[in-house]
Structures are given as C-alpha cells and as structure tokens.
C-alpha cells in the first residue's frame, strides 16, 4: 500500500510539472525584460550558456557500448535512464512535521522522485537533549498526531529536528542516499548541548565556567560571541588553556565519544557525514592552537584545540571505509576561498581522510536577490560578496580554487530566496536557481547539489520565509518546475536504438543506472540493467 501511495503522489507531482503553464525564461530573448534585467542576462549570455552546455556534455556524460540478447527483427532496443550518478538532494528536516497527513505524504514523495539524496539532522543539542538519551527513535511528540494538534510548530524545541531512525529507514526503503549533518560543529546556539558544559567542568571549574559564559543561551543572537563575557574575550589562548585544563580534556573526550557512538550505532547505514562544519575561520586566523587545550575563536567562543583534525581522525578510525567523510563550509570572498583550499590540503597532509568537500551557498536576504535580478550595483560588502556567488566568471574561478584540493565538491546547502512573494519574485528565484544548477552541474569536480529549505516558512530563525521550492501548503513554485525540468527531463537520457553491424548497442548518455529492454524473436520482452560511469 505504501508503495502504491508513493507512486500515486509521484505521479501527481509529475502531472503538475507536465501540465504547468509556467515557462522559465532561459535567455534574454525569452525573458524580454519581464523578469530579469538586461544586466543580469549580459552575465548569463549565450556564450556563457554555450560553455555550460559543452561542460555538461564533457563532464556529466559518457559513451556506452554493450550487447543484448537476440532481438526480434525490426524491433528497437529501449534505453531508459532510471537513476543519476550525480546527487540531487535536500535536507529532510521537516519529516512528518507539517501538521497534515496529505502534506507530509507530498513532502515524502519528493525523496526518490526529485531528490536522490537527503541530509538528515544530527545537530547535537536536539539529537541528545539529555545526556545519554539520543533521539534515535520517535516518541509521541514526534508523531504526525502531535504535529497535527500543535498550534505553534515553530515554537517547539524539536522543530526541524525529527528523530533519526524513522527518517533513515524511510530513505533506505526509497533507495535515497543518506547524508548526516553534522558530527562536530562549534556553534553554541544550534549544536553544542547546554548540559555538556556542566558535565565537562570538574570541581571549582564550574565556578570558573560561570565567569566566561552568559546564560541563558540566546538563540536570537546572530553574533555568537555575545554569549561570552568580556572576562573570557580578554584572555589569550595560553591563559585560557591554564584556566580550565580538566574541562578542556573532558570536552575533547565528549566529542570523540559522540562520534564513536554514532559510528557504532549506524555503521555504514549513513552513506556520508559532514564530520566538521564551519571551522574555516579558526584555521584562517591561525587560532586552532594545535598542541594546546582549547581553540579560542571570536565566532564560536571555544572548542577543543585543533578540533577539525581530531574530528576527522576519530571519524576515520570509527566509521567503515565505505562511509564518505565530508568537510563543510561557507567560504565567503576570495580570502576564505583560498584558505579553504589550504585547510583541506593541510588536513590531508596530516593524514585526514577527506572524501568530499562541502561548499555552502546561502543567499538569505530577499533584497540581495532583488538587486541581482535588477542588475543593481552592490551597495555594501555583503551585497558584493553575494553577487559574486551568482556571476558565472566568479563561479568558474571559485571552482578552480576549491577544486585545486583534488576532491569531489558537494554544493551542500543551497538557499536562494525570492525577492518577494509575487509572481515575478517567484520567477526570479526560479531563473537564478536554474542557471546556478546548470553551472554547478557542469563543473567536473561536482558530485552533488543539496537544496536547503524545501518549503517556505520552514527554515531556521532569521532564514527567509520565501526560499522554498514549495509553499507552506506544498504547492509547487516555479523554482520546483525549473529543477524538475532539469533533473527529470533535460538531464536524463532515454532513447530507442538499433544494434550496429557488430550487434552492439551504443549511445552517449548521462552517467547513472539504465534499464535496457527489447523483444526477443519469440515476442517476449527481455530487459537488463546497465551502469554507465
């Protein structure tokens, strides 16, 4: 019954896409100035589009040659791609939390139809709210019934943080790749559980801890250092190492224990992990303090010294070799892009197993997307940085910088807001998304792209309410149709062909899994599967 329900929902979404009267402009001629400015289309001009097409042809396709059994005279062989080698993902943080069974079912149906990869939430503070009680399995407050009766879903502390077992079981049943996010992150507001600080402090260190941490934790604070006192900020790393040495050692052991427990519990069931999230600033500023006790940083406060290195070494010791270990970052501007490459090379040179490089791309501010669409000049450094992220020339240069590390690149967290919730605003989002997906897909090091918030008004605090592919009521927006057209139509190979003189079936197609079918001389249908790599 479940398979039938999913098939019906998938068919419903496909019908929406097929029957939609939404046409996403692909050029200045098609747009005619109705949505995007001429300045925008000057950046994404025909020569740029031609280069992207050529790169897609070179980097995402391969030549196939294989033999089939005897074929009925005059009949053709059907070649149909059924899955991608490339990963198109989204986070699945709103699993069963939409307050309506129909909405939940539509949300689930996207995984295995549009998305073949899903990022699962393992943020420590909500995964293990109480020491020693990880939220692997669901309780009543994780049920559809709870969320149906909940009048304030975003006010619940476990909003966007479903228990992990039901999500992973669902994804495995659907054949969807599972990506865990994240094992180690220094963010006190969204990652490190409050109980960990008291647990790691010994004796008089609890009083010392009270002198450096502001309480309670303020989750509305954008600038995390505001959660720390001036007394702490004035300390040097050397002074802080001596201030709470027992705490520091226990803190490091706690992170190692978390990695070991997750590795023991899941083994190879989670295909890949963001081992360490957003540690670049410490590396870039030289504050990792290798050989010390603490890594003292102006952004996140403090972490175990050299924690990125230690996190990877612990993960590669605990997880099976088959599990891919990722580093994840939002490297903004030329300086940090260069430093990110240096950080990866440094970790690899010290023996760290880094399989994939995660590269975030968030444009949260609707006004910036509006400026991009209008071709405005950047009015401040933030605008300039974000406009750089969507300019083809800069994207090619940035891929060269990060790709120099020699690792596959995962566009790991993609947020593209609409400038407003109008018909034109939604179309702006779709056009920007289409062009960015095309250029990211075309790059040789790329291995996947993960959209962050699938639904409007379902992001973290301060994230835009209009950055989804769907409305809060699961109605598809133009951005959904743009991506569905690329992923399920333009970038999938299907054809009918005949064997050549040697009896070989040959074609050039997108890398992935294929179903080959033909009629034998007795009229029966035969089929085989073929992996094109």
pLDDT exceeds cutoff 90 at 225: no
Residue 502 has pLDDT above 80, yes or no: yes
Band (16; pLDDT cuts 50, 70, 90): low
Q: Contact, 56 vs 416, CB < 8 A?
A: no
Distances (CA, A) of 165 to 121, 136, 178, 262, 311: 11, 5, 11, 12, 23
Q: Is residue 371, in this structure, part of any structural domain at all?
A: yes
pTM comes to 0.95
**Is residue 400 situated within a structural domain?**
yes
What is the rounded average pLDDT for all residues in the chain?
93
* In a domain? residue 213: no
Taking the alpha carbons of 198, 201, 207, 212 in that order, is the dihedral positive or negative? Answer: negative
pLDDT computed for residue 21 by the predictor: 60
Q: What is the pLDDT of residue 9?
A: 57
The answer to the question of residue 445 being in a domain is yes
Domain presence at residue 503: no
- C-alpha distances in angstroms, 502 versus 339, 505, 527? 53, 9, 20
Q: Which of 253, 123, 262 is nearest to 186 (CA)?
A: 123
Given a cut of 60, is residue 17 above it in pLDDT? Answer: no
Q: What is the pLDDT of residue 52?
A: 98
Residue 1's pLDDT is: 46
Number of structural domains found in the chain = 1
Q: What pLDDT is stored for residue 228 in this prediction? A: 85
- Residue 239 resides in a domain: no
pLDDT in tens, 393-434: 999 999 999 999 999 999 999 999 999 999 999 999 999 999
Task: Report which secondary-structure segment, H or E, holds 354.
Answer: none
Per-residue pLDDT, 240:
94
Token duo for residue 408: 């596959």
Residue 8 lies in a domain: yes
Task: Look up the CATH number of the domain holding residue 472.
Answer: 3.20.20.80
Owning domain of residue 396:
2-60+82-184+256-492
Structure confidence at residue 473 (pLDDT) = 97
- Which residue has better confidence, 88 or 500? 88
Q: How confident is the model at residue 445 (pLDDT cuts 50, 70, 90)?
A: very high
d(CA 35, CA 209): 54
Mean predicted confidence (pLDDT) in 520-528: 93
Q: Which residue has the higher pLDDT, 467 or 6?
A: 467
What percent of the chain lies above the pLDDT cut of 90?
84
Q: Is residue 67 in some structural domain? A: no
pLDDT computed for residue 461 by the predictor: 86
């Amino acid at each position: 019954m479940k398979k039938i329900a999913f098939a019906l929902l998938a068919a419903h979404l496909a019908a929406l896409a097929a029957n939609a009267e939404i046409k996403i402009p692909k050029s200045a001629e098609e747009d005619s100035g109705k949505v995007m400015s001429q300045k925008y289309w000057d950046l994404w001009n025909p020569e740029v589009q031609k280069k992207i097409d050529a790169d897609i042809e070179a980097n995402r396709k391969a030549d196939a040659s294989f033999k089939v059994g005897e074929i009925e005279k005059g009949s053709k062989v059907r070649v149909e791609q059924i899955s991608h080698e490339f990963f198109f993902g989204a986070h699945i943080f709103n699993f069963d939390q939409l307050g309506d069974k129909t909405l939940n079912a539509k949300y689930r149906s996207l995984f295995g139809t549009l998305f073949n990869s899903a990022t699962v939430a393992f943020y420590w503070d909500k995964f293990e709210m109480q020491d020693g009680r990880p939220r692997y399995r669901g309780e009543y407050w994780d049920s559809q019934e709870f969320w149906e009766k909940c009048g304030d879903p975003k006010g619940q502390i476990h909003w966007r943080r479903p228990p992990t077992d039901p999500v992973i079981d669902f994804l495995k049943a659907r054949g969807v790749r599972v990506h865990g996010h994240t094992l180690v992150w220094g963010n006190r507001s969204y990652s490190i559980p409050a109980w960990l600080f008291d647990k790691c402090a010994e004796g008089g260190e609890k009083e010392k801890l009270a002198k450096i941490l502001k309480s309670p934790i303020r989750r509305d604070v954008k600038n995390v250092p505001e959660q720390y006192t001036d007394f702490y900020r004035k300390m040097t790393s050397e002074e802080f190492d001596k201030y709470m040495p027992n705490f520091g050692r226990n803190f490091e052991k706690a992170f190692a224990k978390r990695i070991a427990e997750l590795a023991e519990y899941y083994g190879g069931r989670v295909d890949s992990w963001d081992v360490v999230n957003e540690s670049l600033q410490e590396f870039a500023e030289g504050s990792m303090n290798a050989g010390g006790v603490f890594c003292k940083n102006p952004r996140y406060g403090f972490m175990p010294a050299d924690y990125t290195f230690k996190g990877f070494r612990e993960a590669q010791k605990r997880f099976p070799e088959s599990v891919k270990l990722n580093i994840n970052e939002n490297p903004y501007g030329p300086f940090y892009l260069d430093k990110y490459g240096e950080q990866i090379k440094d970790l690899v040179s010290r023996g760290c197993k880094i399989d994939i490089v995660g590269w975030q791309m968030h444009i949260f501010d609707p006004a910036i997307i509006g400026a991009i669409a209008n071709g405005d000049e950047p009015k401040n450094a933030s605008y300039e940085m974000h406009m750089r992220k969507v300019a083809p020339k800069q994207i090619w240069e940035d891929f060269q910088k990060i790709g120099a590390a020699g690792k596959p690149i995962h566009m790991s967290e993609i947020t593209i807001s609409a400038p407003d919730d109008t018909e034109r605003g939604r179309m702006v989002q779709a056009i920007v998304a289409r062009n960015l997906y095309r250029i990211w897909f075309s790059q040789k090091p790329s291995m996947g792209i993960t959209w962050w918030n699938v639904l409007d008004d379902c992001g973290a605090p301060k994230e835009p309410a209009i950055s989804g592919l769907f409305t809060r009521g699961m109605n598809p927006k133009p951005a959904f149709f743009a991506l569905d057209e690329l992923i399920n139509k333009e970038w999938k190979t299907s054809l009918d062909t005949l064997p050549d003189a040697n009896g070989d079936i040959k074609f050039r197609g997108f890398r992935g899994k294929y179903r080959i079918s033909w009629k034998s001389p007795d009229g029966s249908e035969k089929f085989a599967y073929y992996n094109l790599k």
